[in-house]
């Protein structure tokens, strides 16, 4: 591709000036080292393409974990005027409401060190993982499913998965309003309903993690974390339900783009005006898929809690597992942010990016409101993950958005070729002290640490830019994958 003109605004922000059909500039949060490792690849062109869409406001943004994706770059953020803008499935992705949740426990590393393999085997048995497959609960009826899709995580809590208090620690309370089961393709029900309470494949995981660094002790204690605390992280999304929903609406949106005369720089950015019937149907179906994902993670929390208690011989009360927060990082939803000095209602697309609301924002749970929204940033399965909080500057500079992970730097196919013939499970234990259990060796090869950027460098960029602040670092000791 042709070289993209880049203007460095600071040591951690680069701008792509408006050119051609771009309606706004592009803005990338990245150091020179990250840009050099990323190279002038297609993801930069994707930042420019997104800037051409109707109704976009401010900037076409990319977080430091950005890399090539479908239509939008993964790590991309774009805000569209709620009246004059568009919604694009490429700005959400196939795995609608892919997200991550973090739970703390009363256990320490010493409590589990000697029985780690037994614990992992128990969780591996109880939570299905891998491509396709079933879930960990009985498939609900169509009537129950419609209730699930409109009520979100509360549906799972009422059935004994987790606690009522969990709902206060999930983005949007675990439920996006406006879900319309009637807009969901029938095939989504067929694929997804049997998968509730399952991890899936790819970069999804359940990890046992140990807090090994605390940057803000007082805030960490508010979250119930201190050094050596055992935590559980779950990264998963809407499984086949969301994938099928996205797949079918891409065809709808491609036709809509032509019907409404939208000039697309890339057909993968197919979209429709937010006022159109096509957009309303997509939003209703996408919100339903997002609620499915909230239910999926909530069910897994309940199953993992019981499995961990069983494997350690603890009661649920002694275990003390409590949800710190659950965030989605593949979503489009309506939020109000300040633009040019005044509040403006926007349809905010975050694809591989996490909401990072500043302190005192009304959408933050009351118990955390003075701190800022918790932000969960998983790294790779060998190094570390981070708990952050949103900073006041995020609301002004990035529509309250920050990074979502380490960011892939090597493709899945390249990793499988490079690692052919190696004992990856042994390698993870000997080199990283991480016990890995998975259904597929290829899945492990695709997700080895060398496939990813250094997550520490990624979160440091966002801290230096004043967007999100580090609270604690968590080191994986065991990882379950598909």
pLDDT in tens, 329-375: 999 999 999 998 899 999 999 999 999 999 999 999 999 999 999 99
- Say which CATH number the domain at 122 has: 3.90.1860.10
Section 288-309 average pLDDT: 98
Number of independent structural domains in the chain: 1
Evaluate the CA torsion angle 108, 322, 361, 340 in order and state its sign: positive
* pLDDT for position 389: 98
Is the four-CA dihedral 64, 69, 70, 74 of positive or negative sign?
Answer: negative
- Indicate the Cα dihedral angle 23, 28, 29, 34, nearest 10°: 180
Asked whether residue 3 carries a pLDDT value surpassing 80, the answer given is no
The CA-atom distances, in angstroms, between 444 and each of 242, 344, 377, 407, 447 are 24, 44, 20, 16, 5
DSSP code of residue 170: B
The answer to whether residue 108 sits within a structural domain is yes
Other C-beta atoms within 10 Å of 139: how many? 14
- Residue 176 domain boundaries: 7-481
**pLDDT value at 37 more than 90:** no
**Could you tell me the pLDDT band of residue 221, with boundaries at 50, 70 and 90?**
very high
β-partners of residue 333 are 348
CA 334 to chain centre: 17
pLDDT of residue 36: 84
Asked whether the beta carbons of 210 and 432 are under 8 A apart, the reply is no
67: helix, strand or coil: strand
What sign does the dihedral 186-190-195-199 (CA atoms) show? negative
Q: What is the pLDDT of residues 186-197, one digit of tens each?
A: 999 999 999 999
pLDDT score at 167: 97
Compute the distance between CA of residue 245 and CA of residue 79 in angstroms, rounded to an integer. Answer: 22
Using alpha carbons only, how large is the chain's radius of gyration in Å? 21
Sign, CA dihedral 280-282-286-288, equals positive
CA distance readout (Å), 106 to 212, 226, 228: 15, 10, 10
How far is it, in rounded angstroms, from Cα 328 to Cα 39?
Answer: 28
Strand-pair partners of 455: none
pTM recorded for the entire structure: 0.97
Please give the pLDDT value at position 131: 85
Cβ–Cβ under 8 Å, residues 294 and 97: yes
Is residue 255 a part of any domain in this protein?
A: yes
Distance CA 225, CA 110 (A): 15
Express the helix, strand and coil content of the chain in percent, nearest 5 each. Answer: 40, 25, 35
**Confidence band, pLDDT 50/70/90 cuts, at residue 2:** low
SS3 122: helix
What pLDDT score does 67 carry?
94
What pLDDT sits at residue 161?
97
Structure tokens at 102: 């973090």
Over residues 316-341, the mean pLDDT reads 96
pLDDT score of 41 more than 90: no
In a domain, 402, yes or no: yes
Give the Cα separation of 238 and 95 in Å (integer).
6
Sequential DSSP letters for 252-306:
HHHHHHHHTT---SSGGG--EETTSHHHHHHHHHHHHHHHHHHHHHHHHHHHHHH
Q: Mean pLDDT across the stretch 4-14? A: 94
Model confidence at 163, pLDDT cuts 50, 70, 90, reads very high
311 pLDDT band (50/70/90 cuts)? very high
What band does 482 get if pLDDT is binned at 50, 70 and 90? confident
Distance CA 347, CA 345 (A): 7
| 371-423 pLDDT per residue, tens | 999 999 999 999 999 999 999 999 999 999 999 999 998 999 999 999 999 99
Does 163 fall in a domain? yes
Query: Is residue 326 included in any domain, yes or no?
Result: yes
Tokens of 319: 């275990």
Average pLDDT of the chain?
Answer: 96
Q: Which two tokens stand for residue 52?
A: 């051409």
At residue 40 the predicted structure's pLDDT band, cuts being 50, 70 and 90, is low
Where helices occur in 51-167 by DSSP H, the ranges are: 109-112, 116-126, 142-151, 153-158
Is 1 domain-assigned? Answer: no
Nearest to 150 by CA among 126, 125, 183, 123: 183
Res 89 pLDDT > 70: yes
Q: Which of 41-45, 227-231, 411-415 has the weakest average pLDDT?
A: 41-45
Query: Which pLDDT band holds residue 133 (cuts at 50, 70, 90)?
Result: confident
Query: Is 60 exceeded by the pLDDT of residue 39?
Result: no
Question: pLDDT category, 4, cuts 50, 70, 90?
Answer: confident
Region 256-285 average pLDDT: 98
Query: Among 181, 184, 195, 183, which Cα is nearest to 144's?
Result: 181
Distance between CA 275 and CA 376 in Å, rounded?
Answer: 33
pLDDT of residue 123: 97
Q: Active site residue: 169, 204, 404, 439, which one?
A: 404
The string of pLDDT tens digits covering residues 439-458 is 999 999 999 999 999 999 99
Which 3 state secondary structure label does DSSP give 174? helix
3-state SS class at 347: strand
Annotated catalytic residue 404? yes
Judged by DSSP in three states, 96 sits in coil
């Amino acid at each position: 591709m042709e070289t993209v003109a880049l203007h460095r605004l600071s040591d951690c922000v680069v701008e792509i000036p408006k050119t051609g059909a771009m309606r706004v500039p592009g803005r990338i949060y990245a150091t020179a080292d990250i840009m050099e490792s990323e190279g002038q690849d297609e993801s930069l062109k994707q930042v420019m393409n997104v800037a051409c869409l109707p109704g976009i406001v401010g900037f076409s943004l990319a977080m430091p974990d950005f890399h090539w994706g479908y239509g939008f770059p993964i790590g991309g953020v774009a805000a569209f005027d709620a009246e004059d803008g568009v919604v694009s499935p490429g700005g959400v992705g196939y795995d609608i409401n892919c997200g991550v949740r973090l739970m703390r426990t009363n256990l320490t590393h010493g409590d589990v060190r000697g029985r780690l393999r037994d614990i992992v085997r128990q969780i591996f048995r109880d939570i299905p993982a891998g491509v396709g497959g079933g879930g960990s609960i009985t498939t609900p009826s169509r009537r129950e499913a419609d209730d699930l899709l409109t009520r979100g995580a509360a549906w799972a809590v009422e059935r004994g998965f987790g606690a009522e208090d969990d709902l206060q620690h999930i983005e949007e309370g675990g439920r996006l309003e406006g879900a319309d089961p009637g807009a969901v393709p029938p095939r989504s029900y067929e694929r997804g309903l049997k998968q509730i309470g399952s991890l899936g494949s790819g970069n999804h995981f359940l990890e046992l993690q140990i807090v090994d660094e605390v940057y803000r002790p007082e805030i960490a204690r508010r979250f119930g974390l201190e050094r050596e605390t055992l935590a559980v992280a779950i990264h998963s999304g809407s499984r086949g339900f969301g994938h099928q929903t996205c797949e079918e609406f891409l065809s709808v949106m491609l036709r809509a783009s032509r019907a409404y005369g939208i000039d697309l720089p890339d057909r993968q950015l197919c979209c429709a005006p937010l006022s159109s019937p096509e957009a309303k149907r997509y939003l209703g179906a996408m919100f339903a898929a997002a609620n499915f994902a909230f239910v999926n993670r909530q069910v897994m929390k309940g199953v993992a809690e019981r499995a961990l208690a069983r494997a350690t011989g603890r009661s649920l009360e002694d275990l003390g597992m409590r949800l710190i927060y659950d965030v989605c990082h593949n979503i489009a939803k309506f939020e109000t942010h300040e633009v040019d000095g005044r509040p403006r209602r926007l349809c905010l697309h975050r694809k591989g990016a996490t909401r990072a609301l500043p302190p005192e924002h009304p959408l933050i749970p009351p118990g955390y409101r003075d701190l800022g929204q918790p932000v969960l940033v998983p790294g790779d399965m060998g190094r570390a993950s981070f708990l952050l909080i949103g900073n006041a500057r995020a609301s002004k500079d990035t529509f309250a958005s920050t990074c979502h992970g380490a960011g892939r730097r090597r493709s899945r196919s390249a990793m499988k070729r490079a690692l052919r013939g190696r004992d990856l499970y042994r390698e993870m234990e000997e080199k990283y002290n991480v016990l890995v259990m998975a259904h597929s060796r290829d899945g492990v090869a695709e997700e080895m640490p060398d496939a990813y950027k250094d997550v520490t460098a990624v979160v440091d960029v966002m801290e230096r830019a004043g967007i999100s602040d580090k609270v604690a670092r968590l080191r994986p000791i065991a990882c379950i994958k598909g």
